[in-house]
Amino acid sequence: MTPTALPPFVAAAVAAVGHYRYVLLFVGTIVEGPLIMAGCGFLLHLGVFRPLPMFVALASGDLVADIGWYYVGRYFLEPMMRKHGRFLNITPKTVEKAKMLFRYHHERILIISKITMGFGMALGVLMVAGASHVPFRKYFIINTLGEIVFVTAMLSIGYWLGSAYVVLEGGLKWLFIAGATAVFLAFLAGVSQFARKRLHVA
């Protein structure tokens, strides 16, 4: 599938960014990973990206974000929690419970958090890893391994959606995009809510 199959506005955007598309992916993934990754899987099927540089840009961007939150937690979690915890979905109860679990299970927590989009509290998990002084080398290795699984999963979802998109005609394409986006967002919200209830996080 070549880029000529793209919707006109997407084709125009791709042409405008040119060779900077992978830089933009890297920066964008630092801010918002899952949606960009799924979208890239969709566009990969349409021929917009080359697989290897796209994968490296996505994984690197998300990993840079993880490292940033680790150091935020290591040096700034306590004052941030007091001032802004409610905005970051972090409470003293969340932090204390996570610290207790991290003492014995930080490897398992980090890998599961990565491949499940943080159980709905990814920022809290990453910052508590820093606050708990998980060795950075171990943190980096675990998150890198989890990143491979996570990026692959998100790209696979987007790629499958792209394969369904190309067989549709006319207005059905737009309905499919809207419906698929709504379902994906509902899925993310559902995972978050389910996990928070299971973990009894306020």
Distance CA 71, CA 131 (A): 8
What one-character DSSP code corresponds to residue 190? Answer: H
Q: At what angle do helices 51-84 and 33-45 cross, to 10 degrees?
A: 160
- In which residue are the tokens 């379902």 written? 183
Distance CA 190, CA 161 (A): 20
Q: Collect all residues with Cβ–Cβ distance below 8 Å to 86 and sequence separation of at least 6.
A: none
Q: Domain residues of the chain, as ranges?
A: 3-199
Confidence of residue 121 (pLDDT cuts 50, 70, 90): low
Distance CA 184, CA 35 (A): 9
What one-character DSSP code corresponds to residue 6? Answer: S
Confidence of residue 2 (pLDDT cuts 50, 70, 90): very low
pLDDT for position 158: 82
pTM for the full predicted model: 0.72
Distance CA 121, CA 119 (A): 5
Residue with the bigger pLDDT between 96 and 66: it is 66
pLDDT for position 4: 42
The number of residues making up the chain comes to 202
Residue with the bigger pLDDT between 28 and 167: it is 28
Q: Collect all residues with Cβ–Cβ distance below 8 Å to 31 and sequence separation of at least 6.
A: 65
Q: Across the chain, what does the average pLDDT equal?
A: 75
Q: In the chain, where does DSSP find H-type helix?
A: 8-17, 21-31, 33-45, 51-84, 92-115, 122-131, 136-165, 171-199
Q: What does R_g of the chain's alpha carbons equal in angstroms?
A: 19
Distance CA 98, CA 144 (A): 21
Instruction: Write out pLDDT tens, residues 6-50.
Output: 666 666 777 777 778 899 899 989 888 888 888 888 888 878 888
pLDDT of 194 higher than 80: no
